[in-house]
Amino acid sequence: MKDVFITRIAKFLPNRPVTNEEMEERLGYIDGKASKARRIVLRNNQIKERYYAIDADGTITHNNSELTKEVIEELCDENFSTADIQLLSCGTSSPDQILPSHAAMVHGYLKNGNMEINSASGACCSGMNALKYGYLSVKSGQVNNAVCTGSERASTWFKSKIYENEIAHLKALEENPILSFDKEFLRWMLSDGAGAMLLENSPKGDISLKIEWMEGFSYAFEMGACMYAGGIKKEDGNLIPWREFHSDDWGKKSLFAVHQDTKLLGNNILVKGAESLKMAYEKYNITPEDVDYYLPHISSFYFKNGLYDEMEKLGIKMPWEKWFLNLDKVGNVGAASIYLMLEELMYSGKLKKGDRILLGVPESARFSYMYAYLTVH
């Protein structure tokens, strides 16, 4: 087995930062009215700026595959070109279409020659799953290098036009044309961007991050869907997929909107997160004392203190001085968030040889968690 090192990280955030007051202008007003939920959600998540692949005139500037292509090109230079990539592994929860796969579309934009591709689906963990595929491929000697990405183009998923048919249908039925909170919540949470990592079997340059291990946990065996799109949730917790509805209902029921069961989220995301982290600690025989920097992907600062408390209950308290977050500056970019955090830390000038970094990514879709443990070389 080979050692695996992250030798480069790049980020791509489209256009200029969007402030809280500009969000609704970019995404559009539902039924021509300002959202009552927006200020509540933003007050809790404490995000100040985020990025959209939509310019000030409302023009879409990038699709997801283009965002990913841009960040891969940012990763490359005269010493490592796109033609040198042996494996491309891409994760996202917002692909541009159902088929072809996200990685295939990115490869199509790169036009860099034949190579292996892998698409990791899911929600926030898809970026880490893409990373693990690249990690195992380099570690096993299948390839000498891999480029792994996490990206999201969530903004167009939340534009007001997505909900127009449902609002019109409710008016026709003489019902209150108000969008349910489970559909509106994520409008004020998610944003656009992409991150990319180059993995190689030897360290390069002034700083490299060795991947010591990666570990994942799923609670889908006992938990129902919490964040979902392309279906409707029944009272028993099961989903009715979009293909079982008449096409007329797709718009009337906003079937392709993203839903978040906020009650299920609040009751479980932190508890299962601390539980799974403790299992990872025990498997690899480490403790919080063996961590110098802790990078947790949290969707909202609302969860920060709660996560700390849950870890403390299980005897794995992480001191605040070890936490590293950039949510307020770049927003919640789903599968890309952990890439954007690690990129900022890697080039911050703070790291020194021997430092140990713990990455943690939760996914509320059906409660999955991914962890990675890195050392600085």
> Which tokens is 157 given?
């998923």
Alpha-carbon span 42 to 213, nearest angstrom: 35
User: So what's the pLDDT on residue 70?
Assistant: 98
Give how many domains the chain has, as a whole number.
2
Q: Which one-letter DSSP state was computed for residue 366?
A: T
- The CATH number of residue 92's host domain is 3.40.47.10
The verdict on 89 and 174 lying in the same domain is yes
Q: What is the mean pLDDT of residues 265-280?
A: 97
Q: What is the pLDDT of residues 304-338, one digit of tens each?
A: 999 999 999 999 999 999 999 999 999 999 999 99
For residue 31, what pLDDT is reported? 85
- C-alpha 155/C-alpha 24 separation (Å) is 11
Answer with the residue of higher pLDDT: 182 or 332. 332
Tokens 């025989």 sit on residue: 285
Do 299 and 178 reside in the same domain of the chain? no
In a domain, 225, yes or no: no
Q: For residue 166, what pLDDT is reported?
A: 75
Q: Look-up: residue for tokens 């926030």? A: 124
Q: What is the mean pLDDT of the chain?
A: 95
pLDDT level of residue 177 (50, 70, 90 thresholds):
low
Please tell me whether residues 172 and 294 are part of one structural domain: no
Mean pLDDT of 213-241: 94
Q: In this structure, are 91 and 197 located in the same domain?
A: yes
> Taking the model in full, what pTM does it have?
0.95
State yes or no: pLDDT of 240 exceeds 80: yes
Asked if the structure places residue 316 within a domain, the reply is: yes
Q: Under a CB-based contact definition with an 8 Å cutoff, are residues 298 and 325 in contact?
A: yes
Mean pLDDT of all residues in 5-18: 98
Whether residue 83 lies inside any domain: the answer is yes
φ and ψ at residue 294, rounded to 5 degrees? -110, 120
- 239 and 225 in contact (C-beta within 8 Å)? yes
Percentage of the residues of the chain whose pLDDT score is greater than 70: 98
60: left (phi over 0), alpha (psi -120 to 50) or beta: beta
User: Which of 65, 75, 81 is CA-nearest to residue 117?
Assistant: 65
C-alpha to C-alpha distance for 225 and 281, rounded to whole angstroms: 27
**Whether residue 30 is found in the same domain as residue 178:** yes
pLDDT of residue 111: 97
* Structure token digits, residue 314: 């299980």
Band (pLDDT 50/70/90 cuts) for residue 236 is: confident
Is residue 142 in a domain? yes
The length of the chain is 377
Per the structure, the complete domain to which residue 71 belongs is given by 5-206
Mean pLDDT of 172-195: 82
The stretch 353-361 carries a mean pLDDT of 98
- Report the half-sphere exposure of 101 (CA within 13 A, side-chain side): 14
Strand locations in 226-323, DSSP E? 227-229, 231-233, 239-241, 258-260, 293-296
What is the pLDDT confidence band of residue 176, given thresholds at 50, 70 and 90?
A: low
Q: Are residues 346 and 197 in the same domain?
A: no
Q: Whole-angstrom Cα distance, residue 371 to residue 279?
A: 11
Residue appearing with tokens 């070389």: 377
- Is residue 275 located within the same domain as residue 163? no
- Type of residue found at 336: A
Q: What is the mean pLDDT of residues 338-350?
A: 98
Burial group, residue 281, by CB count within 10 angstroms (0-12, 13-18, 19+): buried
* pLDDT recorded at residue 114: 97
Whether residue 183 is found in the same domain as residue 266 = no
CA gap 294, 285 in Å, rounded: 17
Convert the pLDDT of each residue in 47-73 to its tens digit: 999 999 999 998 999 999 999 999 999
CA atoms 339, 342, 346, 352: torsion sign: negative
Confidence check: pLDDT of 89 > 80: yes
Please list the residues that pair with 90 across neighbouring strands: 119, 149
The three-class DSSP label of residue 257 is coil
In a domain, 300, yes or no: yes
Cα Dmax for the chain: 66
Mean pLDDT of the 30-49 span: 91
Per-residue confidence (pLDDT) for residue 179, from 0 to 100: 67
**DSSP symbol at 367:** T
Residues 145 and 273 reside in one and the same domain: no
Lowest mean pLDDT among 53-57, 232-236, 297-301, 337-341: 232-236
Residue 175 in any domain: the answer is yes
Verify that 299 and 190 share a domain, yes or no.
Answer: no
Q: Is the pLDDT assigned to residue 226 strictly greater than 90? A: yes
Same domain, 59 and 184: yes
Q: Can you give the pLDDT at residue 167?
A: 73
Cβ proximity of 327 and 334 under 8 Å: no
Same domain flag for 72 and 138: yes
pLDDT at 128 over 80: yes
pLDDT level of residue 344 (50, 70, 90 thresholds)? very high
Q: Give the amino acid at 77.
A: D
CA separation (Å) from 28 to 22, 178, 349, 350? 10, 15, 40, 40
Tokens of 337: 């968030």
Mean pLDDT of 29-58: 92
Residue 239: inside a domain: no
Residue 331 within any structural domain of the chain: yes
For residues 236-265, give the mean pLDDT.
91
Q: What is the mean pLDDT of residues 214-237?
A: 94
Q: What is the mean pLDDT of residues 171-175?
A: 72
- Cβ contact 10:82 at 8 Å: no
